[in-house]
Chains A and B, each alone.
Chain A
Amino acid sequence: MPAPTERDVDLKRTYDAVVVGSGAAGGMAAHVLTSHGMKVLLLEAGKKLDIEKELKSMEWPYEHPRRGGLPPDSHALSRNEYTFRKPPYAKGLPNKHVYSYVEGWSGADYSKNIVVDEKDNPYTGTNYAWVRARCLGGKTNIWGRLALRLSDYDFKAASRDGYGEDWPISYTDIAPYYDKVDLYLGIAGHPENLPYLPDSLFQRSTRLNTAEVKLRESLAGMGRVLTPYRAGVTTDGLKHNKYRSRCFGRGACDRHTGGCDIHAAFDSPTGLIYPAMDTGNLTLRTNSTVYEVLVDKNTGKARGVAFVDSQTGKNYEAKAKVVVLGASTLESARLMLLSKSRFHPNGIGNSSGHVGHNFCEHIMGPSVTGLVKELVGKPRTLDDGRPAGFYVPRFRNLADRQSNFIRGYGFEGDSGTHMFPGHASSTPGFGAAYKKKVRDYAGAFISMGAFGEVLPRYENYVDIDANVKDRWGIPVLRFHYHFGDNEKKMAADMADTAREMFVAAGIEIIGVDRDTLPEGWSIHELGTSRMGNDSKTSVLNQFQQSHDVPNLLVVDGSSHVNASCQNPTWTIMALCWRSCDHLADQVQKGEV
């Protein structure tokens, strides 16, 4: 189904709302506000891509001149560069284009127009692997689709262990909105009835293979769970959405950076924005990079935004009754800090001084790979014909505190055959025996890696580096961010328990990786404008509205009070839906 035709942008008129950014957050805001009849202008910094032409989800590697790889004038930053060099990482590199590490994955040539060129988009400060996508839909075009709910173990974590702040909401506040997101966008999964990882309203689940069933059964004996990957993918189809097909398990899905060209996997353009355009209430302008939230000089309230056309370099203003930021956690913080005025000398919405602070995410790295011996030499099976493998939810610090750190972590894992035998390079030797070994062992490996909660800390923050500007002359972000002691202890425990679980299941250990990946690797940046009831220690209220400026909302991961250890996107969208419902209600009552 082709994209709907766009309405003309009218910068003379005052829109009911201007939404900044078109990823999970901005797309959801556009959907909810237009569904309430509000006239919305959506501004997106990146291009609108012809995504079906771009992605080629089913192209065979050998059909591509570089087997899916980037052209030689391009460079993807490596783990080493993020570790040993300092940002801006692209500075001084001879390559024409420099991308973040995700473009080092196979299939990166398909997503090179989705992610940003680090040369145009520098940042400074401490080491941080910041992955950004600038195009209609943002990172949702290439996200990994693990779609999880949070629970009161997360929202009320501070009450449980005494660290940090509780969220100003509890699970019952957000549960109906998780339901709405499930039904509107589709999610595949298997119900497990876990209080710490609530079930969604699932469509048809993906299935586990032999190795995964074996591990699942063994974990059950330890009181732990292995569940099929909960995927933000519609497996049964969505009658209300003509732009998205159901999933056909086509098997190249683990090539994340290749995306899903039939849009069974959720992406913001087909899932949210095109349907919103069909209401007639949405006006879209791409290539529009917002650099300031404008305020009324008498009231200090938001009156619109200033933006630069990223193609022509021309500056414009857009007027709106409400400004909704969904530029992604760090970009929204940057925008607020840049929006200084007489009323808001430290940046808009920043009377608390907390904008940019309490920045948190997930820590990754520790992982295990094992061999299921009885699968060696078995006939070939199809194991990657599904969005992804499995998830092992958190088991630490649930019933009572049993470890030398607080909070927890979960594992994402996978097993069986893939299009490319990843073990071929690490299988020693050469010749006929080597070749046969690679063939025989192809379906017999299983591996999983952890994602753990990084505690929010005031000292972990971003601010503006006025001395460095991006390609459009906008001052960039500077990082002041490090993992702490809790994360390091947690990482050691991740490696230990990963091994323990495989050993208990009778899986032969091939390797355990104990090292953590650089800061930022999880691509789950959160915090920076946290919600709370106290305007001195938080930036937003429970409806993601600025305490200082009631007609300014920040609907992306900025508002999260802690990172939990579950992937954030489904929560970003549920919270955004709740806030936009509330906003529409207030607008109707004339309260904003």
Chain B
Amino acid sequence: MSSDIERRELFKIAAATAYAAKFGVAQEQQRFFTPQEFVVVDELAEIIIPADDHSPGARAAGAAAYIDARLAESREADKKALWRKGVQLVNQVSLQMHGKTFLETAPAQRAAVVERMAQNEEEPKSPEEMFFKELKRATVNAYYTSKIGIHQEMEYKGNVMLNQFVGTELP
């Protein structure tokens, strides 16, 4: 029995590692998330802010690694628990909807899982809805403060020396 669990665990780790290799996720940086959790969070972040024609997405911006580093040093037990539980919930929702864990499903099915968690974004009620809110907050924060987010995606023009202010001069 126990060896069965071990085997299943091993399989999941192997799947996660293969997945990580495929997407170039840096494995050694994680400190809070387990390898499996990390890959789930990395995939969730990329679903929230994906790469598109305009710029790379949350994966390339290293959002999951940034979130991981903040959680690793955080002293907020509630927040840590929310994330641990949150990743489990993602798998639960996925099992319910598709009969497979999140990473085992196809991209469209993963998006459907996130869709479900996001359905009450304004007033989240269920635990998975609450987790989505935190997940999005953290992803947004990590992405739009990153090099990619600031320069490539938002094409931010400031933080330079200006000789004259930009805008309309009043008469």
Contact = CB atoms under 8 A, between A and B. Distances in A.
Interface in A165-215: 190, 204-210, 212-213
Nearest to B52: A432
B2 interface: no
Dominant SS among interface residues on chain B: loop
Highest count of chain A CB atoms <10 Å: which of B66, B74, B147, B166: B166
Contacts of A381: 157, 166
Contact of B145 (A73, A208, A417, A420): A420
Nearest to B139: A430
B122 interface: yes
Interface stretch (A128-136, A243-251, A448-456, A466-474): A243-251
Nearest to A442: B154
Interface in B150-171: 150, 153-170
A424 interface: yes
B31 to A, nearest CB: 13
A525 to B, nearest CB: 31
A439 B153 contact: yes
A380 interface: yes
A248 B162 contact: yes
Contact of B165 (A67, A212, A385): A385
Interface stretch (B9-17, B43-51, B90-98): B43-51
Interface string B32-58: 000000000000000111101010010
B7 to A, nearest CB: 35
B166 A207 contact: yes
Interface in B59-111: 66, 69-70, 73-75, 111
Contacts of B136: 425, 430
A60 B49 CA distance: 21
Contacts of A209: 166-168
Contacts of B25: none
B130 interface: no
A209 B165 CA distance: 10
Interface residues of A, number: 52
A381 B167 CA distance: 9
Contacts of A428: 118, 121-122
Interface string A421-456: 100110011111011100100100000000000000
B20 interface: no
Contact of A380 (B144, B145, B146, B154): B154
Contacts of B155: 380
Nearest to A106: B145
Contacts, number: 138
B166 A435 contact: no
Contact of B160 (A204, A210, A250, A432): A250
A506 interface: no
Contacts of B22: none
A67 B137 contact: no
Nearest to B150: A419
Contact of A73 (B52, B75, B111, B153): B75
A159 B95 CA distance: 73
A228 B54 contact: no
Given A207-B168, A248-B162, A425-B136, A94 B150 contact: no
B146 to A, nearest CB: 5
B112 to A, nearest CB: 12
Contacts of A71: 73
A420 B170 contact: no
A431 B48 contact: yes
Interface string A364-383: 00000000000000001111
Given A62-B150, A94-B75, A252 B158 contact: yes
Contacts of B157: 251, 380-382, 385, 417
A125 to B, nearest CB: 29
Contacts of A68: 145
B50 A431 contact: yes
Interface in A380-401: 380-386
A429 to B, nearest CB: 7
Contacts of A436: 52, 54
Nearest to A191: B170
Contacts of A385: 157-158, 160, 162, 165-166
A252 B162 CA distance: 12
Contacts of B74: 72
- Please list the 7 inter-chain residue pairs (A to B) with the smallest Cβ-Cβ separation, ordered nearest first: A251-B158, A207-B167, A249-B162, A61-B145, A382-B157, A430-B48, A248-B161
